[in-house]
A and B are shown apart, each in its own frame.
Chain A
Amino acid sequence: MFIPCDRGGGSAAPDFKGFTLLMPAVSVGNVGQLAIDLVISTLDMTKVGYFYTDCLVPMVGNNPYATAEENSVELSINAEVYSLPSKKLVVLQIRSPFIKNKYRPFCETLLSWVKSSKCARVVLLSSSHAYQRDDEQLLGTPLRYLLTPDLEKAVGGHMKELNWKEMEKVAAYPGINDTDKVLHIPGGGITKLLFTESCSEGIQMAVLLKFCSEGDNIPDAFVLVNYLNEWLQLIKSEVSTSNNSSDPSSQWKIPSSWRLLFGNGLPPALF
């Protein structure tokens, strides 16, 4: 599944042992994917390979993180892997939707790759339909987290210190029986499947998600990536001297491919 980039000089395949794998779920508003774009763009991560898979709709384009003419001509496809060894971080970016009936095969192949490359843990960025929140979820923070039992032991305490809110379970049969609770992540794509599989396979996985709706999801991506940063500290959040609050939003670099998200310029003849 994973094909390393040929960096020349006969270099061996990259080693991800002990790394944190950061990846998005293709979910409502594409928030996870937008957040990953911000991480790759800001940390100027190097592409180390891609996934050769029939589970995603094919697409190709030129380098979405191009900053100049010289680096704009590298081809980019639907599932690519970037790495930053100094932070022991490997990032998978997914750029197209899943093909029908391919959720499960993709999850299985992905998790077996995680195990074979000996990644220490997986962090999944996702989102869920805001309109499906219950009364209590409508109040307070729209951000939630989930930890597999193996990761709970390692970092569960840290989440409590950060005052994070765990994703609530909902009644399996609402109105009939309120005692059976299940995890329900509407609009989350492969999130629930990947999480439940990781629980049963003993993989350390964290899910960070935001309740949102379709629309301009750029602010949602910033909120999610700042949430991630509270834990992983990927970039330093500078304290602003003027109002003494820390607002790391301005330190994330928007990639050049985010231009024209809502259409082209207008024809002057319209006016």
Chain B
Amino acid sequence: MATFFGEVVVAPSRAGLDEEEEAREETPEDREIRREIEKKRFQQRGEIREREIQVLWSCAEESLVCSRFIVAIGRNAAAFLSSFILDSVCWEVIGVVKLWNEWCRTSSSTNVLPTDSFCLFYRLISDPTVLLCQCSCYVAEDQQFQWLEKVFGSMQKKGLQVTILSTCPVADYKTQESTLTLVSPFLKALKTKEFQEQVCCPLLEQPNIVRDLPAA
């Protein structure tokens, strides 16, 4: 595509195409170089392999029995839980997710500030099958599936009900009127057909969608 100044640039595609990946085929030498780089990073970091996620539980049980799992994704949702739900009397920290990506890094420390990036798991002391997760860090696309498998893989699901809390900018909401005139903030929900209870707010209409970790 030619721009106004005459130079030719490659237009980015909405389809999210990675032209480089399509064109380049890895030779055995490339593979060897990539393996060596990964090994070096692994040694330097001395921790987890770059894109791998580690879920560390502080409790001794092999798998946690869970009947209710509340996940707050993003800083706003995490702050909501901190302000209105969590306290040190009723809830205990039982786990943490350690990950690294280009946007953030979390540590294995459970003593976090609200401005840190973290992903912590709590358990209700009076009913240990109720779990809560505050995930204020960004989980990259290629790590979302891993997060899912590792977290849900550690649970023994007993009639499990999962509630996911997250936020999106109002400007992203697609509606016939302009978002300028919308009364915000407002709640919308998505539910599976297995969820039979009453939902406290209207359902999310098409063409709006949810993406990233809440979608996963």
Given A27-B15, A54-B145, A74-B193, A61 and B177 touching (CB < 8 A)? no
Given A58-B216, A60-B210, A72-B205, A260 and B175 touching (CB < 8 A)? yes
CB distance from A226 to the nearest CB of B (A): 21
Contact B18 A98 (CB under 8 A): yes
Contact A267 B181 (CB under 8 A): yes
CB distance from A55 to the nearest CB of B (A): 9
Q: Mark B170-212, 1 if CB is under 8 A from A, else 0.
A: 0001111111110000000011110000000001111111111
A75 to B13 Cα, complex, angstroms: 27
A152 to B201 Cα, complex, angstroms: 54
Contact B14 A214 (CB under 8 A): yes
A77 to B205 Cα, complex, angstroms: 14
Given A74-B193, A267-B180, A59 and B210 touching (CB < 8 A)? yes
Contact B16 A103 (CB under 8 A): no
Indicate if A236 sits at the interface (CB-CB under 8 A).
Answer: no
Closest Cβ neighbor of B194 among chain A residues: A6
> Which of A61, A256, A260 gathers the greatest number of chain B CB atoms within 10 Å?
A61
Indicate if B17 sits at the interface (CB-CB under 8 A).
Answer: yes
A260 to B146 Cα, complex, angstroms: 33
> Which of A29, A72, A73 gathers the greatest number of chain B CB atoms within 10 Å?
A73
Contact A59 B211 (CB under 8 A): yes
Please indicate the chain A residues that have their CB under 8 angstroms from the CB of B142 in the complex. Answer: 99-102
Closest Cβ neighbor of B210 among chain A residues: A60
CB distance from B124 to the nearest CB of A (A): 27
Indicate if B215 sits at the interface (CB-CB under 8 A).
Answer: yes
Indicate if A258 sits at the interface (CB-CB under 8 A).
Answer: yes
Indicate if A162 sits at the interface (CB-CB under 8 A).
Answer: no
Indicate if B62 sits at the interface (CB-CB under 8 A).
Answer: no
Please indicate the chain B residues that have their CB under 8 angstroms from the CB of A102 in the complex. Answer: 142
Contact A75 B211 (CB under 8 A): no
Closest Cβ neighbor of B192 among chain A residues: A75
A102 to B205 Cα, complex, angstroms: 30
Closest Cβ neighbor of A61 among chain B residues: B209
Task: Give the size category of A's interface with B.
Answer: 35 or more
Closest Cβ neighbor of B207 among chain A residues: A257
Contact B175 A59 (CB under 8 A): no
Indicate if B61 sits at the interface (CB-CB under 8 A).
Answer: no
Contact A61 B210 (CB under 8 A): yes
A224 to B7 Cα, complex, angstroms: 31
Closest Cβ neighbor of A190 among chain B residues: B22
Contact B215 A60 (CB under 8 A): yes
> Which of B173, B178, B204 gathers the greatest number of chain A CB atoms within 10 Å?
B178
Q: For residues 256 through 271 of chain A, which have their beta carbon under 8 Å from a beta carbon of chain B? A: 256-261, 263-269
Closest Cβ neighbor of A269 among chain B residues: B180
Indicate if A30 sits at the interface (CB-CB under 8 A).
Answer: yes
15 residue pairs from A and B, CB less than 8 Å apart: A28-B13, A30-B14, A58-B141, A59-B209, A60-B211, A60-B215, A62-B205, A75-B190, A97-B15, A99-B141, A189-B15, A189-B17, A214-B11, A264-B173, A269-B180
Rank and list the top 5 A-B pairs by shortest CB-CB distance, nearest first.
Answer: A97-B16, A54-B145, A61-B209, A58-B216, A267-B178
Query: Residues on A close to B: CB < 8 A?
Result: 26-30, 54, 57-64, 66, 72-75, 77-78, 96-103, 131, 186-189, 192-193, 213-214, 256-261, 263-269
- A29-B15, A60-B190 given; 18 more Cβ-contact pairs under 8 Å: A27-B17, A54-B145, A57-B211, A59-B215, A64-B206, A74-B193, A75-B190, A96-B211, A98-B16, A103-B21, A187-B17, A193-B22, A213-B1, A256-B207, A261-B207, A265-B176, A265-B178, A268-B178
